[in-house]
Structure 1
């Protein structure tokens, strides 16, 4: 079989830690809309979207045409030259970002975007101390791994930063889970102040948070959570960095950038993934004083390259012209409501949470809160057998991640829900044997 040969070749040249989904790994060879064709000859409904990067869908004419048009002119120049597409995209981002007097810098990935935010905040404050959230994931590079609060994604304890992990909005496994949302938020804010007083010294470079945790399993804090954290941070003049690599551009439905829902204006926002619909892209939008604080030269050879910028402009234009934020809100709300109803009849499901088209389904040993990662893998396999691709994540790898492109239709959501329900039911029955 061709795919078995491809797996063998992959294993001969790729690192062992570069994981592949499924017992029989899958190659995606083409796609259109929300559907992809696999190397196995089957067609699948894509409800993972290339790890949330294929944000608009596959083979979208406006995006493909923008890329081709730019490729016909020039592929690369570097930031040492004016790049029209880069300036136009920066203008669009600056106009939307909830950041005072914004400046934009483009890089090539989410990891590099967060590294840039750390460079800016550590340089501005003269401190290498960072406050991060438990359950956070900020990337795979040296500095970002240091602020990743998931053991499974932290391969080294070495770090250029001194990191203190604070409470996140993940109530399901929090020691404060018995409290209502307001009391929970107060308790977390009190703990943040205590951590600053006991675990830091002098200026702190920044507090970094995902408005909806991605790899952490789509933890979705109470609405007042980040506003309360920001009030504490302001007491100590600690900059707030919102990591919007997964939650930006209206995917959460309720706001264009995820942090806006919480009524917070951060000092910096990092972005990447879906902005170029799968092409390599990343960046930071930050307050001018923070962005301009560097005292040495800094450029980007490939960041802001014309091809990715052309794709980014096309993506943002489509989100605006097709009102895809509203679609994410409507279809995402339907997915959340339907999956929560499903959970009532399935003890395998501990919690359903998320916002817009960032939906997490946490699977547990029935009758307990004990994580069940084996069930998550089994449900993914069963869903693939039935023609739907979803992802997984969470602190223990037990959370299904349902993240279709923002162009997803109500009919496709219904189709995916039927498959997810059937898959959970089938896995539950196997566990009861």
Structure 2
């Protein structure tokens, strides 16, 4: 990493800021690193902290800085919109909101689609649950084990990851389904076809014992759960079972959307043999850091609510301007294709490194959504201490990564901006290799 001391002088120490943080913010507000850092500015795939240290960013503010830090096209759009009007609420017509909704509706693959904008992925999933339960007149929800869908009361109630679910109280009755994790659990030893068949049989058996649920909500690739995924086609097979019973499918694309997986624009498209989902939720990357979330649903489902509603901040002009500029840049520069090409190279590089390290259980992922699962050498037991050590060592080496996983947070999460270059991928892999080796020394 490189250092510019002028940044530390201008902003004061991160240590002092952390003391202030602890005195006024909740204890449960998680921060990374034994000595947390404050990021002051970024450019491209790099960020700087208050001490002037430069880092290659392989986490993008939790998969949110999708294209690049300080992307000129987005910065210009935000600045120009701020000079006109920032906000009016949904009580007034909003041209940028309509413009972005038209583009997302078309890209979603959902016929006769309607789009509702929110301020976050949590709020998007909360809205999807409202729509599904109102449409189906049921408060029962199918969710995946090891899943994460946000921090609101309802989304916590359907989260299948106990590390991110602080209460079992919920207005919903949640039934958890097998299949989100391919390499752990009772069906891990089966081949892909056998795994899908077993998960479908389990779902059918479950549905035979309960009243028909409103919907199944699923991340095509589980994010907080450690970038785990089922074999392609599992959700298509689930979809067939659900459609027979009128149960809706909600695809949580908050982390998998916008081409991050490389192979597809949406994660659901790896499971789209039986058509698109009934409801799709999105957030994170579309705003490139601005607060945008949203829900796409066919008109019949979206319009099922029989009372008025508004959004004060969802779809506000300045965030919509950012989203339009960001989406345009993403499509015009084929960042999905870049994620496929550079992500593929990075995954192969990391797998070659992992083959030499007994503490790496698996390198998995798609495009620029990559997980490295760590275990205690010679066992299949999660090693969260090793993951924490690698996170620290990577930062010391000038690389920011994330961590997660349903088995005691033992998965390193790698999700850089989609404009990542081959040279930057190689640089990041080299830093990760040193960090992985140092954590075992």
Normalised to the residue count of structure 1, the TM-score between the two structures is 0.97
| Alignment partner of 1:114 is 2:148 | no
Gaps of 5+ in 2: 1-11
Where 2:354 maps in the other structure, the secondary structure is helix
| Alignment partner of 1:88 is 2:95 | no
Q: Distance in 2 between matches of 1:197 and 1:315?
A: 45
Task: Name which of 299, 302, 315 aligns with 1:304.
Answer: 315
Structure 1 residue 171, shift from structure 2 partner: 1.8
Structure 1 residue 196, shift from structure 2 partner: 1.4
- The equivalent of 1:399 in structure 2 is 411
Structure 1 outlier segments of 4+, above 6 Å = none
Q: Is the 8 A contact 1:242 1:259 kept in 2?
A: yes
Q: Is the 8 A contact 1:219 1:354 kept in 2?
A: yes
Structure 1 residue 310, shift from structure 2 partner: 0.4
Q: Distance in 2 between matches of 1:311 and 1:251?
A: 18
Give the root-mean-square deviation of aligned CA atoms. 0.9
Describe how 1:311-390 pairs up with structure 2 within 5 A.
311-390=322-401
| Alignment partner of 1:168 is 2:190 | no
Where 1:104 maps in the other structure, the secondary structure is strand
Q: Is the 8 A contact 1:98 1:260 kept in 2?
A: no
Structure 1 residue 169, shift from structure 2 partner: 3.1
Where 2:138 maps in the other structure, the secondary structure is coil
Structure 1 residue 265, shift from structure 2 partner: 0.8
Aligned length: 427
- The equivalent of 2:248 in structure 1 is 239
Task: Name which of 208, 215, 227 aligns with 1:206.
Answer: 215
Where 1:230 maps in the other structure, the secondary structure is helix
> What do the CA deviations read for 1:38-78 (whole angstroms, capped 9, x no partner)?
11211000000000111111111000000001000001101
Where 2:116 maps in the other structure, the secondary structure is strand
- The equivalent of 1:415 in structure 2 is 427
Q: Distance in 2 between matches of 1:64 and 1:217?
A: 32
Where 1:285 maps in the other structure, the secondary structure is strand
Q: Distance in 2 between matches of 1:277 and 1:335?
A: 22
| Alignment partner of 1:229 is 2:238 | yes
- The equivalent of 1:124 in structure 2 is 135
Q: Distance in 2 between matches of 1:404 and 1:290?
A: 35
Q: Distance in 1 between matches of 2:238 and 2:351?
A: 29
- The equivalent of 2:260 in structure 1 is 251
- The equivalent of 2:9 in structure 1 is none
Gaps of 5+ in 1: none
- The equivalent of 1:180 in structure 2 is 191
Q: Is the 8 A contact 1:358 1:403 kept in 2?
A: yes
Normalised to the residue count of structure 2, the TM-score between the two structures is 0.96
Describe how 1:50-65 pairs up with structure 2 within 5 A.
50-65=61-76
